[in-house]
A = this chain, B = another copy of it.
Amino acid sequence: MTDEIELPAEVTLLWGLRETVRRGRKPSLTIADITRAAVEVADAEGLAAVSMSRVAAQLGNATMALYRYVKSKDELFLLMSDAATGGPPDLPDDVDWRTGLTLWARGLLKVTRQHPWAVQLPISGPPLGPNSLRWFECALRALGETGLGEEEKVGVVMGLLTFVHGELRLSIDLSRSYTENPEAFGRQYGMALARVVDPQRFPALSNVIAAGVFEAEVPYDEEVEGEFSLGLYLDGVAAFIERRTTGQG
């Protein structure tokens, strides 16, 4: 007996470990096909357009055919979530941790922005897919020579991931509402705020508005977005590594 405990359903799905059988009709689809089709639909028409029938149509099959490959729509979402980021970049082996993590974060931001729906997926549970884990591996490797303990590395990477997730959530929201209605953004946002924000009750916010922070001529720049706070976080990491390696830990 192989004495292997049963793997969670998500894992067997994401890693293609569902038992492949011999007898019976040959499958005409693969999980990869279905995932790709779903991603295409989401890219082209948004997450709301991803219905089982729409994805099936994309593949030229009937709706119910998909359920032979995927137990529920949630499983499809899980697959999409791992597919959205693809694999991590190849960092040079001798890259210093800060450059490595900067490239990592920028890279993850960039690829995810190409599939903005990924942020809206209703996923629960820790990352288990092959791509997620490759990203994780990549970041851990960048911290390889810092002298941090394993748990500390995980903490740093989780923090960075946290940051990227939050940044995506906020910036994708903004960019969507910007691309949906460019004129109504920026200036008009500032004006709406100004109309609604009572200087008595919101003195600090009023100062900000008065300083024209929300009326920037440059409306939205993905490249720059988040660089500032990313830098702050990495400064904190640097200080931590310093503290940790000068023995004051």
Q: How large is the interface on A (under 10, 10 to 19, 20 to 34, 35 or more residues)?
A: 35 or more
> How many copies of this chain are found per oligomer?
2
CB distance from A235 to the nearest CB of B (A): 4
A163 at the interface (CB under 8 A from B): yes
Among B120, B204, B228, which residue has its beta carbon within 8 angstroms of that of A141?
B204
A195 engages B150 (CB within 8 Å): no
B residues within 8 A CB of A229? 155-156, 158-159, 162-163, 233
Whether A169 touches B165, Cβ cut-off 8 Å, given contacts A151-B211, A233-B236, A237-B232, is yes
| Contact of B202 with A133 in the complex, beta carbons under 8 Å | yes
A128 at the interface (CB under 8 A from B): yes
Q: Which residues of B contact A125 (CB under 8 A)?
A: 173-174, 176-177
List 29 interface pairs A-B (beta carbons < 8 Å), by A numbering.
Answer: A7-B192, A8-B188, A124-B172, A125-B173, A126-B189, A128-B192, A128-B196, A133-B193, A133-B196, A133-B197, A133-B202, A134-B202, A136-B205, A137-B202, A140-B205, A141-B203, A151-B213, A154-B213, A162-B163, A162-B167, A162-B170, A163-B229, A163-B233, A165-B165, A165-B169, A229-B233, A232-B233, A234-B236, A235-B235
> What per-residue 1/0 map shows which CB atoms of A1-21 lie under 8 Å from chain B?
000110110010001000000
By a CB distance below 8 angstroms, the chain B residues around A126 are 173-174, 177, 189
Chain B nearest CB, measured from A65 CB (Å): 25
User: Whole-angstrom distance from the CB of A238 to the nearest CB of chain B?
Assistant: 8
Give the residues in chain B near A201, CB-CB below 8 Å: 137
Chain B residues with Cβ below 8 Å from A193 are 128, 133
A86 within 8 A of B: no
Contact between chains at B8 and A156 (CB < 8 Å): no
Query: Which A residues form the contact surface with B (CB < 8 A)?
Result: 4-5, 7-8, 11, 15, 120, 122-126, 128, 133-134, 136-137, 140-141, 144, 149-151, 153-156, 158-159, 161-167, 169-170, 172-174, 176-177, 180, 184, 188-189, 191-193, 195-197, 201-205, 207-208, 211, 213, 226, 228-229, 231-237, 239-240
State A169–B5 Cα separation when bound (angstroms). Answer: 30
Taking a contact as CB atoms under 8 Å apart, the answer to whether A8 and B133 are in contact is: no
Residues of B within 8 A of A128 (CB): 192-193, 196
